[in-house]
């Protein structure tokens, strides 16, 4: 995935999405950031290097955490960035510890969205901001909805209404919601181009069968985006009450 999405990233938006979220939330320099679903650390590294943020990443996959911590040391930013293995629905952090809670195209994989938003709220200082981008299921009644969930490894894909309701219920005031479905569809066209361009490398490293499976899944995702079954969005909300 990193070969076709970009160094440090496990989702197609990569650096472009990171920068757009920075602008959307008007991220201040030096903010303390909790990156939920930090993967290989691409977003965290960008925030530390470009905005001097102190970033704590958390990811369920221990192999991702180990690799992200290794890369932080190689990049010489281990004093700004650290990664921990843990569950997003039971965060191992103190109340009101972070200025920003961040998520980049990872929360679709978290089943209990209510607990996720609750924990994000608990971890934020009052007045702090929640900013995230995510994949969204736009037509839950479609015959292909279950296949989308399987292919994207997201058993409980969210939608705009659900996220807005959960944030309001937990004490957030939503500042912005942007539909980024068109951008994601275009991003997936580029992903497919990169995948086809790297076929020889992927086949050499993983085998033809793996390449064919990945290609088929990526094509299905693009079709889901272009048909309107699958979408994407970015959200910014402010913690207004305990």
Q: What tens-digit pLDDT sequence spans the chain (242 residues)?
A: 766 666 767 677 788 899 999 999 999 999 999 999 999 999 999 999 999 999 999 999 999 999 999 999 999 999 999 999 999 999 999 999 999 999 999 999 999 999 999 999 999 999 999 999 999 999 888 999 999 999 888 989 999 999 999 999 999 999 999 999 998 888 888 888 888 888 898 899 889 999 899 889 889 989 999 999 999 999 999 999 77
Domains defined along the chain, listed by start: 2-139+153-182+231-239 (3.40.50.150)
The token duo for 53 is: 């943020």
Return d(Cα 83, Cα 28) in angstroms, integer: 21
φ, ψ (nearest 5 deg) of residue 184: -65, -40
Return d(Cα 185, Cα 225) in angstroms, integer: 6
pTM exceeding the 0.85 threshold for the entire prediction: yes
Return d(Cα 162, Cα 229) in angstroms, integer: 16
Is 215 in contact with 167 (CB distance < 8 Å)?
Answer: no
Return d(Cα 169, Cα 166) in angstroms, integer: 5
Q: Give the bridge partners for 231, in sequence order.
A: 136
Helix pair angle (208-227, 199-206), 10° resolution: 130
Q: Based on the number of CB atoms within 10 Å of its own CB, is 129 exposed (0-12), middle (13-18) or buried (19 or more)?
A: buried
């Amino acid at each position: 995935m990193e070969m076709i999405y970009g160094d440090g990233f496990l989702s197609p938006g990569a650096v472009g999405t990171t920068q757009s979220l920075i602008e959307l939330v008007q991220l201040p320099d030096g903010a303390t950031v909790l990156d939920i679903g930090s993967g290989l650390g691409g977003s965290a590294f960008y925030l530390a290097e470009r905005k001097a943020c102190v970033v704590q990443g958390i990811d369920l996959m221990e192999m991702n955490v180990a690799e992200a911590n290794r890369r932080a040391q190689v990049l010489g930013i281990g004093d700004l960035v650290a990664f921990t293995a843990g569950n997003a629905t039971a965060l191992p952090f103190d109340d009101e510890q972070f200025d920003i809670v961040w998520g980049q195209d990872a929360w679709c994989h978290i089943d209990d969205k209510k607990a996720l938003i609750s924990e994000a709220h608990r971890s934020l200082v009052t007045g702090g901001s929640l900013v995230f981008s995510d994949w969204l299921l736009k037509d839950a009644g479609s015959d292909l909805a279950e296949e989308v969930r399987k292919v994207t490894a997201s058993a409980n894909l969210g939608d705009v209404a659900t996220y807005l309701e959960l944030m309001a219920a937990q004490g957030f005031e939503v500042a912005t919601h942007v539909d980024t479905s068109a951008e994601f569809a275009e991003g997936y066209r580029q992903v497919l181009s990169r995948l086809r361009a790297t076929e020889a490398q992927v086949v050499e490293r993983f085998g033809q069968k793996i390449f064919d499976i990945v290609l088929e899944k990526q094509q299905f995702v693009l079709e889901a985006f272009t048909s309107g079954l699958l979408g994407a969005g970015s959200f910014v909300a402010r913690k207004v009450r305990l």
